[in-house]
Amino acid sequence: MTRTHTYNNMKKFCYLATAAIVLFACGKEPNNGGNENQPKEVQCNLKGYAQKGQFVKGSQVTAFAVGTDMVATGESFPANISDDLGSFSIIGKTEAPYLELRAEGYYFNEITGEVSSNPLYLEAGGLCEVR
């Protein structure tokens, strides 16, 4: 396999990983005492896969709440990869409309057939919608 071919494969995996890292499902749970002008707290249930090659079991995934001004609110919701396919599930309550997701850890390298020797960090963002 040529170096260019390997680079192109890695580039494709990174694009796919960024697209596939986040699957959001947020349910409505108002907690504002009936005041319609205040932000509503919602229950966010995140389920998905962290992959650039699958992140191995035990790798860390954290969702960070981000306000409308695109500044982190300080809320974070950590979880671990639950299997060697990169599966994760995060549940948390927030008033923030956006979430930043960060996965960090070791991954299975499809080219070498081994677990990576260095950690990898993937980040993605998404809208936490009231459904």
**pLDDT digit string (tens) for 40-67?**
777 778 888 887 778 888 899 999 999 9
**Which residues constitute the domain of residue 110?**
3-127
Interatomic CA distance for residues 121 and 62, integer angstroms: 11
User: Which tokens belong to 105?
Assistant: 């850890």
pLDDT above 50 (res 29): no
Pick the range with the lowest mean pLDDT from 3-7, 43-47, 106-110: 3-7
pLDDT above 70 (res 13): no
User: Which tokens belong to 76?
Assistant: 């974070």
Interatomic CA distance for residues 96 and 26, integer angstroms: 12
**Domains contained in the chain, number:** 1
Q: Kindly state the percentage of the chain with pLDDT values over 70.
A: 68
Pick the range with the lowest mean pLDDT from 32-36, 52-56, 89-93: 32-36
pLDDT at 37: 57
Question: What are the residues whose beta carbons fall under 8 Å from the beta carbon of 23, sequence distance 6 or more?
Answer: 46, 47, 48
Question: Are the C-beta atoms of residues 31 and 39 closer than 8 Å to each other?
Answer: no
pLDDT at 40: 75
Query: For the chain, what's the residue count?
Result: 131
